């Protein structure tokens, strides 16, 4: 069995974010939908692989969340992993935050 998911990164007014199927002629695809802005921030702070998406989660203060992400990254024992996670967090954070803030917090 294969489960497909569509992950939406940014809030939008488009009705497409509510759809969970795609139909084309005689083909139908059902998929799960994850809207990151509806997901609890704590979930993303628990796992290093999810840290890059924490600023896109359900929060009223994205800058504070990015500060938390930076603190968690600093506690990762392996420096190479730290650098990779920080680099990975830079792009999603830049979608919704000013780039100078992202640069300052993620160095």
Reported as a single tens digit per residue, the pLDDT across 29-72 is 999 999 999 999 999 999 999 999 999 999 999 999 999 999 99
Cβ(69)–Cβ(55) below 8 Å: yes
Q: What percentage of the chain carries pLDDT values higher than 90?
A: 97
Within 8 A by CB and 6+ apart from 46, the residues are: none
Residues 56, 79 within the same domain: yes
pLDDT at 99 over 90: yes
Residues 49, 84 within the same domain: yes
CA dist list (Å): 96 to 38, 47, 64: 15, 21, 13
Residue 78 — very low, low, confident or very high, per pLDDT cuts 50/70/90? very high
- 22 is in which domain, residue-wise? 5-35
CA angle 87, 71, 54 (to 5 degrees): 60
Closest CA to 5 of 36, 23, 30, 24: 30
How many domains does the chain divide into?
Answer: 2
């Amino acid at each position: 069995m294969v489960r497909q998911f569509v992950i939406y990164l940014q809030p939008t007014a488009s009705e497409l974010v509510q759809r969970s199927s795609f139909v084309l002629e005689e083909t139908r695809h059902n998929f799960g939908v994850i809207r990151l802005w509806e997901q609890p921030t704590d979930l993303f702070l628990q796992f290093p692989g999810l840290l890059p998406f924490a600023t896109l989660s359900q929060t009223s203060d994205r800058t504070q969340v990015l500060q938390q992400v930076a603190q968690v990254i600093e506690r990762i024992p392996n420096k190479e992993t730290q650098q990779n996670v920080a680099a990975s967090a830079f792009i999603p954070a830049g979608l919704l935050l000013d780039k100078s803030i992202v640069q300052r917090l993620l160095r």
